[in-house]
Amino acid sequence: MQLQNLYSLADLEQQFGPVVGSDGAIATTQRDLLGSYYRDLLAETVAIVAHQWANGVRRSAVKGFFLGGPPGVGKTSLARRAAYELCLRFSEAESPSARQVVLALIDGGEIARSRYGESEARIREVFSLAEKGFTEPDQRSIILFDDVESVLMARGSENAKEWHFSQDSVFFHAVDNLDTSRTAVFLTSNRPDLVDEAILDRFLAYAVAAPEPELFVEVAVRAAEAQQFSPEQLAALRARVRAAAEAGKLTSIRDAERLAVREYVESLLGRPSTALIGADRFSGEWGTRAP
C-alpha cells in the first residue's frame, strides 16, 4: 500500500515555518496558530502524546483525539500543528533517516474501494504500516483521519450501509490494539453526529468553534501578503477583518482568506466588490454585500 499523504518534519515546517521561540509549553513558529484556545488544545494533546512516547506507554487508555466542529475552523491545521510539534521533539537531528516522526493523512480517497472487504483491508494496512514504520523501522507516527464521517459512519445513521458496519468494526479493533508508545491518532469531523458513538468513546473529544478575531486577522494578512498588499492596504485590511470578526460575520478561516481576496479584487477594480463571504452567503440575501 502506497500512501499519498505522508508528511515529515521538513514538510510541516513549510506550512508553519521555523521555530522562533516558545511560550513555555509549546514552540512558537513563524506562521503559527494564534488564539488561546488553539494553543491550549495544542499543548494538551501534545503533552499527552509526548508523555506516552517518552515513557513507553504501550497500551494507554488515550489512543488519540477527536476534533469536531464546523468547516473551516482549523481542525486539520490543529492536528497537523500537533504533528509538527511532535516532530520537533522526537525526530533525531543527528540521524535524519532513523526514528523520524511522520504524519499520515488519511481521507476517504485513501480508504474507499469498490469491492467488498477492500476498504476494511486498507484500514488494517494503515495501522499495520504504523506498527512497522511508514518509511523507516521503529518510526513514530501520527495518523490523521480527516473528515472521518466519510469513512466511519455511525451504524445507526439512515445513510449507513452494511459495509460501514464492517469498516467501523475493523477500525475499533485496530485502535484497541494501537501501540500508543509510538503512534497517536487524530480524527476530524464537520459532522460529529454522523460518527459512530463507539468511535467517540475511544478518543478524547474536543469541540473546535470559530477562531478568535486575531486568528482571522492573521490569516487574512498572510493571504494579503501573498498578493503584495502595501502597508496601508494591510492596515486597512486588519481593521476590516477585526470588525467583521467581532460582529460575528466571519465563521471560518476561509472567510478571512476570501475577505483578503476581495480586498485584492477591489484594489484592481477600483470599486467595491459584490462578493459575499461568511454567514451572508447563506442568508438568502444574495444582493447584500458582505462587510
Q: How many domains does the chain have?
A: 2
State whether 56 and 162 are in the same domain: yes
Tell me what pLDDT residue 250 has: 83
Q: What pLDDT score does 155 carry?
A: 57
- State the DSSP H helix or E strand holding residue 54, giving kind and residue range, or none if neither: helix 36-54
The residue out of 207, 228, 256 marking a domain boundary is 207
DSSP string, 107-171: -HHHH--SSTTHHHHHHHHHHHHHHH-SSSTT-EEEEEETTGGGTSB-TTSTT--HHHHHHHHHH
Whole-number pLDDT of residue 105: 93
The predicted pLDDT at position 115 comes to: 65
Closest C-alpha among 176, 211, 177, 197 to residue 75: 211
Q: Can you give the CATH number for the domain in which 77 is found?
A: 3.40.50.300
For position 172, what pLDDT does the model report? 87
pLDDT at residue 44 in the model? 96
For the purposes of burial, counting CB atoms within 10 Å of the CB of 11, is it exposed (0-12), middle (13-18) or buried (19 or more)?
middle
* Domain end call among 207, 238, 263: 207
Indicate if 95 and 188 belong to the same structural domain: yes
User: Averaged in consecutive runs of 10 residues, what is the pLDDT profile of the chain (291 residues)?
Assistant: 81 94 91 85 96 95 94 91 94 60 85 68 90 88 91 60 69 93 95 84 89 84 84 88 86 84 82 65 45 44
- Amino acid residing at 136: E
Residue 283: its pLDDT value, please?
Answer: 46
* Residue 33, pLDDT score: 81
191 and 220: one domain?
no
Q: How many CB atoms lie within 10 A of CB 234?
A: 16
What grid cell was written down for 243? 470588525
Q: Are residues 57 and 196 in the same domain?
A: yes
What is the pLDDT, as a whole number, of residue 289?
A: 43
Distance, in Å, from the CA atom of 119 to the CA atom of 72, rounded to the nearest integer, reads 27
Q: Is residue 164 part of a domain?
A: yes
Predicted local distance difference test score (pLDDT) of residue 52: 97
Distance CA 119, CA 3 (A): 14
**Which residue segment(s) compose the domain that 114 sits in?**
6-207
